[in-house]
Structure 1
C-alpha cells in the first residue's frame, strides 16, 4: 500500500470500515500525519451529524390517540366462548362473561401502561438525540472555527492533538492510534488552571482514535493534561500525566 493510498483512507477509517492489517497500517500512518488526523476528526464529527439526521420524531398527538383507542377496542381472552354463546349460557356462562370483562379491563390497563411507558421512552430518546446533536455541532464548530489552533504530542503508542477555538471558548482533543488503557482504567482529560486541574471529560477506552469535545469552557486555562484513571474518572488526577500540552497559539 502506498503513502497516497493511506492519505485517501481518512473517510473510510472515520466510519470504522478498515479492518486487520489495513487498519493497523493506517493507524501507524495517522500517528505521524497531522493532516490525516485533522481529516479523521472532521469526518468523525460529520458522520455523527449525518447519523442524527435520520432521527424520526414521533407526532405529539400519538399518545392521546393510543389512549383514546384503548377504550374502543374489544378485548377477548384466548379460547373464550363467542359473545352470543355467553349470552345464551347459564350462570356459569355469565361468570365467564364477567371473567372475560375483567381480563379485557386488565388488558386495556396493561396496554395503556405500555403506551405511556413507550411515550416516555420516546420523549427521553428525543432529548438524548437533541443533546447528541448539539454536542456534534459544537465539536464540528471547534474543528472548523476560523480561529482554531492546534498542538500535537506523541503518547500512548499514538498521538494526541489539542484543537482550541478562543472565540468559542471551547477545545477538542483528537486521539489517533492510542493503545487501550489497562483494564478497568480510562484516559481522562484535564484543564490546567494555575496550580489546579479541572476535569474535562473521558476518552472512550475501546477506541484508539476519536475526537472528543472537552467538557467545560477553556476559560483561560494554561494547558491540558491526560492521565490514566479508574473507570468512571476521578475528581482529581491520581496518576502522573501521560502528556501535558500548553494551549496552542
Structure 2
C-alpha cells in the first residue's frame, strides 16, 4: 500500500476523521510543518463556522406569543386519569370539585412555567451560538488576513505558532502536540510589553492541539508568553513562562 501523504490529511485531521495510527503519524509530521499547522487551524475554524451556519435566531415576538397562548390554550397535564375520576365523582361534594380545580390550575401553571423556561433557555442558546459564531469568524479572519504573519517555536514538548494580523490588531496562537499541564493547572497566554504581562486567554487543558484567538488587541506588544497557572487563570503570572514568542512584524 502507498503511504498517505501527510500534507493531504489536514482537513480530515481537523474534523477528527483519521484513525489513531494516522493521527499519531500526522501529529509527528505537524510538529515540523508550519504550512500544515496553519491549514489545520483554518480547517478547524471553518468546520466550527459551518456547524453554526444553520443556527436560526428566535424571533423577538415569540416570547409575547408564548405568554399569550399560555392563558388561552388548555393544557393536558401528565397523568390526567385521576382528574377524570374526580370529575366523574364531583357529586360527592364541593371539596372534591375544589381539589380538581386547584389541581388543574397548578398543572396549567407548571406547564406555563416550563414553557417560559424553555423559551428563555432557547434565547440563551441563541445568544451563545451568535457569540461562538463571532468568535470563529474573528479567529478565521486573523488566520486568513492578507497581512497575517507567523512565528513558530517549540513549546512544552510540542510546537506553537503565533499568527498576528496588524490590520485587525489581533493574534491567534496555534498549538500542536503540547504536553498536558499538571492536574488542576492550565496554560495561560499573555501579551508582554516592556516587562508587563497582560492576560490574553486560556488554553483548553484537555487538548494538545488547538487554535486560540487571544483576548484583546495586540496593541504594540513585543512578545507573547505562556505560563502554567491554576485552573481558571491568574490576573498576573505566577510561574516562569514556558515559552516567549516574539510578535512577528
Instruction: Give the TM-score normalised by the residue count of structure 1.
Output: 0.92
Match in the other structure for 2:81? 78
User: Counterpart in 2 of 1:90?
Assistant: 92
Check if 1:216 corresponds to 2:219.
no
* 2:171 aligned counterpart, secondary structure: strand
Cα distance in 1, alignment partners of residues 117 and 182 from structure 2: 39
What secondary structure is seen at the aligned counterpart in 2 of 1:173? strand
Unpaired runs of 5+ residues, structure 2, are none
Offset of residue 235 of structure 1: 1.0
Per the TM alignment, residue 54 of structure 1 is displaced from its structure 2 partner at its CA by 2.4
Structure 2 SS opposite 1:80: helix
CA distance in structure 1 between the partners assigned to 2:184 and 2:62 by the alignment: 43
So what's the TM-score if we normalise by structure 2?
0.92
Quick one: distance in 1 between partners of 2:175 and 2:70? 52
Structure 1 contact 70–112 (Cα < 8 Å) conserved = yes
Matches within 5 A, 1:49-198: 49-71=49-71, 72-73=73-74, 75=76, 77-81=80-84, 85-86=88-89, 89-91=91-93, 94-198=94-198
Q: 1:154: how far off? A: 0.8
- Larger displacement relative to structure 2 (228-237 or 167-176): 228-237
Q: Tell me if structure 1 keeps the 8 A contact 2:151–2:247.
A: yes
* Aligned mates of 1:84, 1:230 — CA distance in 2: 62
For 1:210 and 1:165, the matched residues in 2 are separated by 19
Match of 2:235 in 1: 235
Q: How many residues align?
A: 246
Whether the 8 Å contact between 2:139 and 2:213 is mirrored in structure 1 is yes
Give the superposed CA RMSD.
1.9
Task: Say if 2:177 and 2:209, in contact at 8 Å, map to a contact too.
Answer: yes
Runs of 4+ aligned residues of structure 1 deviating over 4 Å after TM superposition are 1-4
- Measured after TM superposition, the shift of residue 75 of structure 1 is 4.4
Residue 15 of structure 2 corresponds to: 15
